Amino acid sequence: MVIKNIAVIMAMMDEAKPLIDNLILTEQFDMFHKQLPFKVFTGKIDNLNVDLIWNGIDSKYNVDNVATQPATLATYLAITNLNPDIIISAGTAGGVAKRGAEIGDIYLSCGVFRYHDRRIPYTNFPEYGVGSYPSVDVSSIARDLNFKLGEVSTGNSLELIERDFEIIESHQSVVKDMEAAAIAWVCRLLGIPMFAVKAIVDLLDGEKATHEQFSEYLSLGSSNLKQAIIDVIAYCKGKTVADLALPR
């Protein structure tokens, strides 16, 4: 089946705004329960329908709804209300420099999404905690659009502690974010293909603290991300999910 509807799930308005402005996406009202913070912006690239779901603002703390909890609910609502053929988890992320990541890079996900901060040392729970949720194979997009491919590891902290880094290293993940594995978990439950498009704005093994790098490069990353998402969606035109992989 040719891809027609693409849902892009994003956590921060700073990351989403360049895309909303560039594609002139229009806000759809009354899509979800009125007490929920999520917002939907809709538009088209060629004949493809694009729904951008932004996780909105936490009314108590007045910040964007980042991390896994809102991402899970947003994904469920996107799937049940918007009928997507494929979901993209899009945003900025940290990268591992010693595995080739550089500031400004765009990474597409490969392999599986895992968690690096769900440590549950009891019976079979360790494996459950780490998880393993598949990414669609988008290796042909990466080759043709010249993006890097890497495994994404998700956690609920922007800050990096040593144990989290050890776990990221043990999986040889390259990209660290705060939403993708949660989105992938819902997608696996409901049988919707998904992958991630992530712009690197800080290096886990870099010189400066994560939050300093993050604020320095958020704008560059969001701009690169906007163009990457436009190119990735345009690439999907007339293709099936299977066409996104390199032929074996």
Could you give the residue numbers annotated as active site? 15, 202
Query: If you search the block for the tokens 């704008």, which residue do you land on?
Result: 219
**C-beta closer to ligand ADE: residue 89 or 92:** 92
CB of 66 to ligand ADE, least distance (A): 8
Which letter does DSSP use for residue 156 in this model?
S
Contact in structure between 138 and 228 (CB atoms under 8 Å): no
Q: Tell me which stretch binds ligand ADE (CB under 6 A): 51-59, 79-87, 128-136, 174-182.
A: 174-182
Please give the radius of gyration of the chain, using alpha carbons only, rounded to the nearest integer: 17
Neighbour count for residue 83 (Cβ, 10 Å): 13
Query: If you search the block for the tokens 């700073």, which residue do you land on?
Result: 14
User: SS3 for 160?
Assistant: coil
User: Does 176 help bind ligand ADE (rule: CB under 6 A)?
Assistant: yes
User: Does 153 help bind ligand ADE (rule: CB under 6 A)?
Assistant: no
Output the residue with the shortest Cβ distance to ligand ADE. Answer: 94
Contact in structure between 85 and 3 (CB atoms under 8 Å): yes
Q: Give the Å distances, CA to CA, from 71 to 35, 47, 99, 156, 167.
A: 16, 27, 27, 11, 22
Q: Tell me which stretch binds ligand ADE (CB under 6 A): 26-34, 115-123, 173-181, 227-235.
A: 173-181
User: Does 9 help bind ligand ADE (rule: CB under 6 A)?
Assistant: no
Return the H-helix or E-strand segment holding 190.
Answer: helix 180-190
CB of 75 to ligand ADE, least distance (A): 17
User: Does 109 help bind ligand ADE (rule: CB under 6 A)?
Assistant: no
CB of 14 to ligand ADE, least distance (A): 11
According to CB under 6 A, which one of 140, 214, 231, 243 is a site residue for ligand ADE?
A: 214
Pairing of strands 39-45, 48-54: antiparallel
User: Does 89 help bind ligand ADE (rule: CB under 6 A)?
Assistant: no
| Chain positions contacting ligand ADE, by CB under 6 A | 92-94, 158, 176-178, 201-202, 210, 214
